[in-house]
């Protein structure tokens, strides 16, 4: 029988200094002891992490799956016969049934009313965003408001919007990486345009971990905007309750929530808002009826199914959908709130330690971009290491050293160029000028706009993070900057 292990007990605490640090951590953050169920889970279901000596700090890149999720899914596949949905035959009906259960599970998880929200399964969050991007009925007079803190898959919305004549604006970030809320309020107060208008922002920054106020959803809607909430980085460690906030569109990648399966995401969309979308094409699976002979060279000779099916192009990943149900149950079994409390306690400690780490002369060893405390932020931290004279150390070198020590973190701009540009103090003039000539490479391009680094190191905590993970990171930083 598995012996439940807390972190204080065996393998996790290899060194005396770690156990002392852990004891101090527990004293300063007694609430951590209440999250012990996650240590037990890690020992039982994520053993490979410690057996293989991994320090996993890239949960915003992708969460980790528990062994039990994979086993349960394999059992299901090995003991059933599942065919392509969209038919009445028994194997098809079995797959359709599981897909519909997965849809209900997603609604339940986000407390979304089935009368209000549809779940459209996609390949990932980006594919969910692309449905909105290409189908939103922009026209001259429409407005698209984006925040400078957006993943590129949200930034890409501007391409369709601008091509259809919408006015596209960015809400800037302040130096602390939070939204310039005065500008946002002023832009919303100008109201939606004469055409359909959209405001798209992330619930949590995948770059800095900043959480943007969900109160903007209702405020933007009151001004006539539809709201797209990018919840890809938020949902894994925060409860998103669609009975409390009612964004028109929400994109999710399930591997970010529970690691397995990859290749499935969804667009949660209000039926109201979906009715306004205009799909630029149709595909198998989305049409109730289509004719070749009736097509006269233009016009319409097809009828779409109702939502959500009208938005699911081709065959959904039907064998993976039951793994979404399993993953959601896995997450709910632990409790998103428990995970949230734990990762925030760990992140709070890590932020404080990174801030405190000093060179012998007293200068800091780290520069953290964004809030250095736990107010309105998640457990994603972006930073660079500094030499004794304050010069940032090439994050590529740091990454290489971390890789060699089995520490999985990430470096670069994290697909969030707007946040990077603020963090690295890039000049808007130089950035704009750089696009007028063809740089030989992205490295050359970035050197031309900034003499600082062009990105940072990112660590992010998740489902089974523990004290040893964050402690090892601080020890790594200490040694690297010696
Ligand atoms: C905030 C945010 N939005 C969107 C995405 C896109 O997700 P995917 O690559 O799974 O489509 C990511 C991925 O990292 C993200 O962090």
CATH number at residue 359: 3.90.1150.10
Structural domains counted in the chain? 2
Nearest to 153 by CA among 191, 177, 122, 175: 122
User: 104 and 39 in one domain?
Assistant: no
Index of the ligand 1 atom closest to the CA of residue 61:
14
Name the closest-CA residue to atom 7, ligand 1: 125
Please indicate, yes or no, if residue 1 is contained in any of the structural domains.
no
Q: Is 366 marked active-site?
A: no
User: Does residue 430 belong to any structural domain of this protein?
Assistant: no
The region, left, alpha or beta by phi > 0 then psi within -120 to 50, assigned to residue 305 is beta
Domain identity same for 306 and 381: no
339 plus 212 within the same structural domain = no
Any domain includes 301: yes
How many A from CA of 351 to the centre of ligand 1? Answer: 24
Q: Which atom of ligand 1 is nearest to the CA of 205?
A: 1
Reading the block at residue 125, the tokens are 């969050």
* Chosen domain end from 332, 360, 378: 332
Which residue, 272, 300, 332, sits at the end of a domain? 332
The catalytic position among 266, 374, 413, 415 is 415
Of 60, 126, 146, the residue with max ligand 1 atoms within 8 A of its CB, to mutate for a pocket test, comes to 126
Q: Residue 146 in contact with residue 161, Cβ under 8 Å?
A: no
Among the listed residues 343, 352, 346, 353, the one whose alpha carbon sits nearest the alpha carbon of residue 373: 352
Q: 97 and 168: one domain? A: yes
- Examine the domain organization and report whether 313 and 351 are in the same domain: no
Tell me whether residue 173 is in a domain: yes
Query: Which helix (H) or strand (E) is 334 found in, with range?
Result: helix 321-334
Q: Is residue 299 part of a domain?
A: yes
Read off φ and ψ for residue 199, nearest 5 degrees.
-120, 125
End position of a domain, from candidates 332, 347, 379? 332
pLDDT tens, residue order, the chain (482 aa): 344 444 444 444 455 699 999 999 999 999 999 999 999 999 999 999 999 999 999 999 999 999 999 999 999 999 999 999 989 999 999 999 999 999 999 999 999 999 999 999 999 999 999 999 999 999 999 999 999 999 999 999 999 999 999 999 999 999 999 999 999 999 999 999 999 999 999 999 999 999 999 999 999 999 999 999 999 999 999 999 999 999 999 999 999 999 999 999 999 999 999 999 999 999 999 999 999 999 999 889 999 999 999 999 999 999 999 999 999 999 999 999 999 999 999 999 999 999 999 999 999 999 999 998 999 999 999 999 999 999 999 999 999 999 999 999 999 888 999 999 999 998 888 888 777 776 656 767 776 666 677 899 999 999 999 999 999 999 999 999 98
161 sits in which H/E element: helix 157-163
Pocket test for ligand 1, best of 151, 207, 417 (most atoms within 8 A of CB): 151
C-alpha closest to that of 34 among 334, 474, 348: 334
Give yes or no: residues 243 and 309 share one domain.
yes
Q: Is residue 444 part of a domain?
A: no
Question: 3-state class of 435 per DSSP?
Answer: coil
For residue 446, being part of any structural domain is answered with no
Look up the CATH number of the domain holding residue 302. 3.40.640.10
Which amino acids bring their CB within 6 angstroms of ligand 1?
60, 124-126, 151, 153, 202, 206, 230, 232-233, 253
| Gap from CA of 233 to ligand 1 centroid (Å) | 7
Of 50, 46, 73, nearest to 328 (Cα)? 73
191 domain-assigned: yes
In which domain, by residue range, is 390 found? 16-64+335-413+455-480
Ligand 1 atom closest to residue 125's alpha carbon, by position in its atom list: 11
Measured from the CA of 123, which atom of ligand 1 is nearest? 11
Q: Do both 27 and 150 map to the same domain?
A: no
């Amino acid at each position: 029988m598995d012996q439940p292990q807390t972190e204080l007990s065996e393998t996790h605490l290899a060194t005396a200094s770690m156990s002392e640090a852990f004891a101090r951590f527990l004293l300063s953050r007694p609430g951590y002891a209440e999250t012990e169920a996650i240590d037990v889970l890690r020992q039982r279901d994520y053993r490979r992490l410690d057996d293989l000596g991994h320090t996993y700090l890239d949960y915003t890149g992708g969460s980790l799956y528990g062994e039990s999720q994979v086993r349960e899914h394999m059992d299901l596949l090995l003991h059933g016969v599942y065919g392509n949905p969209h038919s009445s035959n028994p194997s098809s009906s079995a797959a359709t049934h599981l897909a519909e259960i997965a849809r209900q599970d997603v609604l339940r998880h986000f407390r979304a009313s089935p009368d209000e929200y549809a779940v459209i399964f996609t390949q990932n969050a980006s594919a969910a965003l692309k449905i909105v991007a290409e189908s939103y009925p922009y026209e001259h007079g429409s407005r698209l408001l984006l925040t400078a803190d957006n993943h590129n898959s949200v930034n890409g919305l501007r391409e369709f919007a601008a091509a259809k004549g919408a006015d596209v604006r960015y809400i800037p970030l302040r130096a602390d990486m939070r939204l310039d809320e005065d500008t946002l309020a002023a832009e919303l107060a100008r109201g939606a345009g004469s055409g359909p208008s959209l405001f798209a922002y992330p619930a949590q920054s995948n770059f800095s971990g900043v959480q943007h106020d969900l109160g903007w959803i209702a405020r933007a809607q009151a001004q006539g905007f539809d709201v797209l909430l990018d919840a890809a980085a938020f949902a894994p460690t925060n409860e998103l309750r669609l009975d409390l906030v009612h964004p028109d569109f929400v994109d999710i990648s399930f591997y970010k929530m529970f690691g397995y399966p990859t290749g499935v995401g969804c667009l949660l969309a209000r039926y109201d808002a979906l009715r306004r979308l205009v799909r630029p094409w149709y595909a198998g699976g989305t049409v109730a009826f289509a004719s070749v002979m009736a097509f006269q060279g233009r016009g319409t000779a097809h009828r779409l199914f109702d939502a959500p099916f009208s938005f699911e192009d081709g065959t959904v990943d039907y064998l993976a959908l039951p793994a979404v149900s399993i993953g959601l149950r896995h997450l709910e079994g632990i409790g998103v709130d428990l995970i949230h409390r734990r990762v925030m306690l760990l992140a709070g400690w890590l932020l404080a330690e990174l801030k405190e780490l000093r060179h012998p002369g007293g200068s800091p060893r780290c520069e953290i971009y964004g809030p250095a405390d736990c107010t309105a932020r998640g457990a994603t931290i972006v930073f660079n290491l500094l030499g004794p004279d304050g010069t940032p150390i090439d994050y590529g070198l740091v990454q290489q050293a971390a890789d060699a020590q089995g520490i999985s973190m990430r470096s670069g701009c994290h697909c969030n160029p707007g946040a990077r540009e603020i963090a690295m103090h890039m000049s808007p003039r130089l950035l704009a000028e750089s696009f007028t000539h063809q740089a030989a490479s992205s490295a050359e391009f970035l050197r031309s706009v900034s003499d600082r680094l062009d990105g940072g190191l990112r660590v992010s905590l998740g489902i089974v993070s523990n004290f040893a993970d964050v402690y090892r990171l601080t020890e790594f930083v200490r040694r690297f900057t010696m």
